[in-house]
Amino acid sequence: MNYSDVFREIASELDEIEDRGQLAAYIPELSHVDPSQFGACLITTKNEQFFLGDYKTTFSIQSIFKVLALALARGLRENHLWDRVGVEPSGSPFNSLVQLEYEQGIPRNPLINAGALVVCDVLLTHLKNPRQEFIEFVRDLAGDQDIDYCSRVADSERRTGHKNAAMVNLIKAYGNITNDVDRVLDFYCDLCSIEMSCNQLAQAFLFQAANGINPLNGREVVSVGRSKRINAIMQLCGFYDEAGEFAFKVGLPGKSGVGGGIIAVHPGKYSIAVWSPRLNAKGNSFKGMKFLELFTTRTASSIF
């Protein structure tokens, strides 16, 4: 299918819709982004590529990193991750503290902030040089050595991320964080700050559409079983308290970030990244969600 025509059609329809979203100003550095930008990129498992708008402009991937951190952690031996984090949807906002106390420091899933902090703790324990190894993992997935952290965004979040600090301390109090809390927070802020374009994201996530194999180099990123499970977690937990809505309207495993990016995959077919910085009330890209809803309907390519 030639997705370029569908991209253009949807883009002109979205131009008519008022973008009612807001920038993620709670991380001050993210409020400096030009909110009118919009990009999309789809890459098929046969490496056909389709683009739209600002698809080469990099932005802060924020929570999208959580899926890549999970993929890297799952490849590490003996880390007992599933004893420390659940796989159930939370139905709560990404930064909620409420369930954590009820559930005694075991986060509901690895894609809410609490769960990602535990995954960061696992990576810190098991990797020799976590910061360097993580970025190399992402660069290899995307086939692009230019991908990097953004210290301005990471520092901005370090100064204002009081809820995450509360969260990591609470989890530590329940004995589910092994490293120093400041080290975990620091690493988490770095991973959130990674900057990528829609093009790089679609490429980096293609392994999740290809049974865990990176089609760029034929290497296994995760086993078939792990790839299946990571897609299931994205489907159920990738949009927090809007996960049902995303399944209902879009129908693909996916993950959002407060930088306005969304990645979604159709197992066996394609990965697609969209970016529009203004967020809806649940912290997910307002136009990005609409774009994907129209896209999977027009192309009859929801998994449902």
In contact, 246 and 288? CB cutoff 8 Å: no
CB of 160 to ligand DON, least distance (A): 9
The dihedrals phi and psi of 166, each to the nearest 5 degrees, come to -60, -45
Contacting range for ligand DON; rule: CB under 6 A; set: 3-11, 118-126, 254-262, 289-297: 254-262
In contact, 62 and 192? CB cutoff 8 Å: yes
Q: Which of 89, 253, 260, 283 binds ligand DON (CB under 6 A)?
A: 283
Instruction: For residue 41, give both structure tokens.
Output: 């990129």
CB of 95 to ligand DON, least distance (A): 5
For residue 270, the surrounding DSSP H or E stretch is strand 270-275
Beta bridge partners of 262: 256, 274
Please identify, using beta-carbon distances, which residue of 7 and 94 lies nearer to ligand DON.
Answer: 94
Q: Which of 44, 45, 58, 62 binds ligand DON (CB under 6 A)?
A: 62
* 156 near ligand DON, judged by CB under 6 A: no
Could you give the C-alpha distances from 9 to 3, 14, 19, in angstroms and in order? 10, 9, 17
CB of 255 to ligand DON, least distance (A): 8
CB of 44 to ligand DON, least distance (A): 26
Please identify, using beta-carbon distances, which residue of 27 and 42 lies nearer to ligand DON.
Answer: 27
In contact, 221 and 214? CB cutoff 8 Å: yes
CB of 193 to ligand DON, least distance (A): 8
Contacts of 12 (CB under 8 A, 6+ apart): none
Please identify, using beta-carbon distances, which residue of 51 and 94 lies nearer to ligand DON.
Answer: 94
For residue 8, the surrounding DSSP H or E stretch is helix 3-15
CB of 84 to ligand DON, least distance (A): 19
* 256 near ligand DON, judged by CB under 6 A: yes
* 95 near ligand DON, judged by CB under 6 A: yes
Q: Which of 44, 109, 156, 164 binds ligand DON (CB under 6 A)?
A: 164
By CB atoms closer than 10 A (0-12, 13-18, 19+), residue 268 is exposed
Which residues sit at the interface with ligand DON, rule CB under 6 A?
62-63, 94-95, 113, 157, 164, 192, 256-258, 283-284
